Amino acid sequence: MKFHFLIISVIITLISCNQNQPRIEGLLYSDGTPVLITIKDGKISGIMRIGKPAKKNTVLYIAPGLIDNQVNGFAGISFTFGGGELTAEGVKKATQELWKTGVTTYLPTLTTNSFEVLKKNFIILGRMKDDPSLLGSIAGFHLEGPYISPVDGYRGAHPLKFVRKPDWNEFISLYEASGNNIIQVTVAPETEGAIEFISKCVEKGIVVALGHHNASAAQITEATDHGARIATHLGNGCANMINRHLNPLWPQLSDDRLMISIIGDGFHLNAEELKVFYKVKGTEKTIITSDVTGYGSLPPGKYVTEEGDSIELTTAGMLRYPAQNVLYGSASPIKKGVGNVMKVTGCSLRDAIQMASTNPARLYNLDDRGTVEPGKRADLILFQIIDNELVIKQTYVSGNLVYDCSNDH
């Protein structure tokens, strides 16, 4: 289904009664009507419908900032790899570059690696989480692995030598190193000790996700009975050749208790898969994620990872791991997935933003963000939609203008 967005005049006015009260005009993402939004002390203080915008020169929508629950790195910065070279400056750089793509909240995601590397990087990230310069953009951390399937295909590009069984004592050490800020763990439910591990995570209020696994229907049901809530990037972290009846996809789709996250970049899932997943789970139980890596925003070419693996970033934006004929995460920020999901499924802008902002805010109890309402944090993005792609013009975090495309050179 093609979307034809009516060209309605809109203007952004940054008028200040005082420095803390910017006023923003644009089209509200939920229904396309012109609104005036006022901001005070970093929060939305008012939303007023207006008859028409002040100028006739552009089409800009206003929506809550995007919330990405799986960011492995960005702009040359990796949160897991780097030989312990992750720095405070690197975290700042990645965050600032993400702001340019409309991401106002995200979960730095650490993937399978040695205990030493994971602990070292969690310490750095934990110290940076509440750094004033980041304006609260880091909500917490996502640990994807190392407690996943060791089987080729299901483990994806996670290095085999670091894949291991769930270890609660090890995890608690990582949790404490993070400043108690790990808020999601992706685990394979069929691994030895996984169910007990899931129960302990749930007791601590950690969101448990199922991913990079080959669990049976019974094992998935048991994991969900014990509190697992979401399937990590459904359709990925899965072997290329699977049994058409007995595979991890059907049980996760059929269990109404499980949400799913999907990578909508156009490479990780075919259009038909996106359509089916969306039809089954619907807007309420789907989260759009990016799975973006440190290769996001880098030029196309061939790269060698720290583990010595060769990967390729194609001119089309696909990040390939030829050794296993699988993808090596994504090189596209979440905004690309939002536009592509709209294009493929025919969902509305309102529904797409719900899946990319409102739903993750609810899942992680981020009650102060994810919607455009008085009293919420003024995490706002202003954008055009051109050829089914979100073109970010401005980004606000806690009422602060952190990105303005007019400043790009």
Count of structural domains within the chain: 2
Same-domain status, 296 and 308? yes
> pLDDT digit string (tens) for 273-318?
999 999 999 999 999 999 999 999 888 888 887 777 888 888 888 8
Residue 112 tokens read as 């399978």
| Separation of alpha carbons 219 and 341, rounded Å | 30
Same-domain status, 71 and 203? yes
Report the helix count and the strand count for the chain, using DSSP H and E.
10, 21
Same-domain status, 199 and 108? yes
| Separation of alpha carbons 45 and 346, rounded Å | 33
pLDDT at 36 over 80: yes
Confidence of residue 408 (pLDDT cuts 50, 70, 90): confident
Same-domain status, 183 and 129? yes
Same-domain status, 56 and 70? no
Helix (H, G, I), strand (E, B), or coil: what is residue 330?
A: strand
Question: In which domain, by residue range, is 288 found?
Answer: 66-363
| Separation of alpha carbons 362 and 202, rounded Å | 16
pLDDT of the residue at 53: 63
Same-domain status, 35 and 122? no
Same-domain status, 263 and 332? yes
Same-domain status, 28 and 52? yes
Cis peptide before 299 (omega within 30 of 0): no
Confidence of residue 58 (pLDDT cuts 50, 70, 90): low
CA distances from 64 to 11, 158, 366 (A): 18, 33, 13
Same-domain status, 317 and 194? yes
Confidence of residue 138 (pLDDT cuts 50, 70, 90): very high
Same-domain status, 300 and 378? no
Would residue 41 count as lying in a domain? yes
Tokens 């990087």: give the residue.
121
Q: For 208, list phi and psi in degrees, rounded to 5.
A: -100, 130
Same-domain status, 261 and 402? no
| Separation of alpha carbons 353 and 325, rounded Å | 32
Helix (H, G, I), strand (E, B), or coil: what is residue 204?
A: coil
pLDDT at 211 over 80: yes
Nearest of 82, 77, 80 to residue 97 by alpha carbon: 77
- Chain mean pLDDT for the chain: 91
| Separation of alpha carbons 287 and 153, rounded Å | 23
Helix (H, G, I), strand (E, B), or coil: what is residue 304?
A: strand
* CATH code for position 356: 3.20.20.140
pLDDT of the residue at 54: 61
| Separation of alpha carbons 115 and 132, rounded Å | 29
> pLDDT digit string (tens) for 85-99?
899 999 999 999 999
Would residue 8 count as lying in a domain? no
Would residue 10 count as lying in a domain? no
pLDDT at 62 over 50: yes
> pLDDT digit string (tens) for 246-275?
999 999 999 999 999 999 999 999 999 999
Q: What percent of the chain has pLDDT over 70?
A: 93
Same-domain status, 388 and 283? no
- pTM here is 0.93
* CATH code for position 27: 2.30.40.10
Q: Does residue 260 contact residue 209 with C-beta atoms inside 8 Å?
A: no
